[in-house]
Amino acid sequence: MQKLEVFGSNKLKGQINISGSKNASLPILAATLLSNKKIYLRNLPKVKDIDTMINLLKSLGSKAKFVKKNLIINNFYQDKKFAAYKLVKTMRAGILVLGPLLAKFGNAKVSLPGGCAIGSRPIDLHLKGLSKLGVKYKIDQGYVHAFAPKGLRGSKIHFSKISVGATENLIIAACLAKGTTTLTNCAIEPEVKDLTNFLIKLGCNVKWIGKRSIKIVGVSDIKQATYSVMFDRIEAGTYLIAAAITEGNLKIKNIIPGLLKTEIDILKKIGVKIITKNKEIKIIGNKKIKSLNIKTAPYPGFPTDLQAQIMALLCKAKKDSFIEEKIFENRFMHVAELNRMGAQIKTLGNKVLVKGNINFASAELMATDLRASVSLILAALTAKGKSTINRIYHLDRGYEDLEKKLKKVGAKIRRIN
């Protein structure tokens, strides 16, 4: 099993180019099932979750191949409606094939999803929404057996809770439903907007009619399309924090700074110098990190996917900070590992008290989920000596060439078997 060795105490300096968004690519890949024509996707990140989703599409009968940096998908012969556990178990996004399969065929059998063990993350909002479109379902032996006897029909659906996955699944499904569907209390993450932009390119009739409301008129014909996926907000935020925690000086390129406003504002409050340009951010770290109280929240709030990373940074603050996790109930598994490095973090239900003024010590560590694994790397970058991070297959699910990018800006990091 592979692991990473990190030798700390180096300031990061240079330029990092941000890859395409994993969280935008996955629903877009699922949405390609709506089409029987060729689709060309650009800027997909080279990460494990993308490979898994492509393999899931292939298992459903899709033809997919990379030509240079473009993925060409052809669903002309796609006719299977069974998404197996072995492909869905490793990532939450596998459930996103349920909507398009039901829209296209009127029935599907899809495994309940897996992914990082950061909370229960039930799919009840997905199923309640689909039932409003005319879907009947049962859950048996870990699979959702769903069918729409009269096809999908438009409806008014209000999400009782903001959910990125449920919003995406219902948007995709409604594109082929008969009539008009209105979705309210939707997630408005940029990755959701990227999905709707892609669907519009396919010829779907999707329109945002309010801050959290979408109107979808079902269509019968899907076009051939070429689409470039947006940049990865979480990767960009991770490297911004990497510059801050190492007192570094980085240029983060291939981004849209406006989509990182919350993260930028918080880093400025903490004491980091940030200069934004058209498609780049320059960030200069500061020895004096200010304490801050942070709550995770749906966009445009502070993202839960950066909670572990900002926690590592706040350990370096001069005073204590609080972080409240409002999205997932089990997303503090990195706390124990950071404490092994000398942090003094105390868990209080869905909050943590982060004691400041900590100098991290090198240690052997265990990654527990995707974002936790990178928080340990951030801490290790500031520790004297060698830290070893085990179970980095979590990391490979969502970060493209992380050690290569960090090496390029001065980190001492290597992957070993």
Active site residues: 116
- Cα separation of 221 and 30, whole Å? 17
- Cα separation of 360 and 339, whole Å? 9
Q: How many residues appear in the chain?
A: 417
Q: What letter would DSSP give residue 290? A: P
DSSP string, 95-117: GGGHHHHHHHHSEEEEEPP---S
**What tokens does 252 get?**
């983060």
- The neighbouring-strand residues paired with 390 are 366
- Cα separation of 142 and 161, whole Å? 24
Integer CA distances (angstroms), 134 to 13, 41, 130, 137, in order: 55, 31, 7, 10
Print burial letters for 157-167: b (CB count within 10 Å at least 16), e (below 16). bebeebbbbbb
Largest CA distance in the chain: 64
- Cα separation of 60 and 153, whole Å? 24
Nearest to 230 by CA among 207, 206, 260, 205: 260
- Site of tokens 């932009």: 197
